Structure 1
Amino acid sequence: MTSTASIDYSTQNGLDLMLDIVEGRSPGAPLAKTLGFTPVTAERGHVVFHGTPLQHTTNPHGGVHGGWYGAILDSCMACAVWTNVPAGSAYTTLEYKVNIIRAIPQGMKVEAIGTSDHAGRSTGIARGEIRGIENGKLYATGSTTCMIFKIP
């Protein structure tokens, strides 16, 4: 089992921690591996994940489950907020919203783009979108509010 316990929030800021995950120096969230997505770029206020929903991410009708859209959007949006969090602090999602525009076919490669619009002492706000990598079509959008807090 992969753990995020090796992440040291006390000495690194969120951008450095996110870059460690993108560059393979730290483990990412185990959920991302299970659901088939991974962060590929990170800069202050902006994170991109790539993902491919497979059969194990479908609903009983064979379509990609709405939870998959939510998981990749929550990840890219919250991580975009994280890139603005100072050392000694962490973040968590308070709420998020997903708007599914069209169905993502199983096996199609997509990118989820998260952009932070605000990150203060106690809250962060971000928006996201899922687009097809090859066709550029918009498949879903989202928004989030995150809580930012000091690590005791």
Structure 2
Amino acid sequence: MTDAPLTNDRQRTYTWADTAPALAALRTLSGLEFLRAIARGDLPPSPVGMTLGMEPLREEDFTEGRAVFRLKPQEFHYNPIGSVHGGVFATLLDSALACAIHTTLPAGVGYLTSFSFKPHAGECRPRRLKSVPFLFPAQKAAPSRQISS
């Protein structure tokens, strides 16, 4: 390793809104109403969405049991070998799954998500800047009091 300073540093600045209005709305809005309110701009988007640079939510992407998230790959998503880091995919999958579940819940009811991702060899391809935006649809399949899949 060399002691020479790195050149061509990049910088990224972003902002996010106070989450208090969204947290308060959870008590009075169903999950579907809540997510559509975020998509309309009536409530602030999630800080993680701003951190990752997710595309703005669309109201039509939320129906009962279904949620869709989009993200265009950017250089700041890269891992050291120049493709999109797997943690970005995991975060988008978790967000889509959680919101698909949330669309089915009444006001004031919470949830946690846990998922297992086992890609097949043919599904693992590097994604780079010139890649098309990622689309992450999720559909809640099996409702349960304790587990949804």
Is TM more than 0.5 here?
Answer: yes
Alpha-carbon distance in structure 1 between the residues aligned to 2:34 and 2:41: 11
Matched residue count: 124
Q: What's 1:71 paired with? A: 91
Give the structure-1-normalised TM-score: 0.74
- Larger helix percent: 2
Q: What's 1:42 paired with? A: 62
Contact persistence 1:85–1:119 (CA under 8 A): no
Structure 2, unmatched stretches of 5+, are 1-15
CA drift at 1:107:
4.5
Contact persistence 2:73–2:84 (CA under 8 A): yes
Alpha-carbon distance in structure 2 between the residues aligned to 1:34 and 1:71: 11
User: Could you tell me the percent identity over the aligned residues?
Assistant: 30
Q: Which moved more, 1:37-46 or 1:59-68?
A: 37-46
Contact persistence 1:52–1:107 (CA under 8 A): no
Alpha-carbon distance in structure 1 between the residues aligned to 2:130 and 2:112: 30
Q: What's 1:13 paired with? A: 30
Structure 1, unmatched stretches of 5+, are 126-152
Q: How does 1:1-152 map to 2 (within 5 A)?
A: 1-7=16-22, 8-38=25-55, 39-40=57-58, 41-93=61-113, 95-100=114-119, 101=123, 102-108=125-131, 109-125=133-149
Q: What secondary structure is seen at the aligned counterpart in 1 of 2:141?
A: strand
Query: Which amino acid is the alignment partner of residue 62 of structure 2?
Result: A
Contact persistence 2:82–2:128 (CA under 8 A): no
Q: What secondary structure is seen at the aligned counterpart in 2 of 1:50?
A: strand
Q: Which has the higher contact order (CA 8 A, sep 6+)?
A: 2
Coordinate RMSD, CA, aligned: 1.6
Q: What's 1:128 paired with? A: none
CA drift at 1:106:
2.5
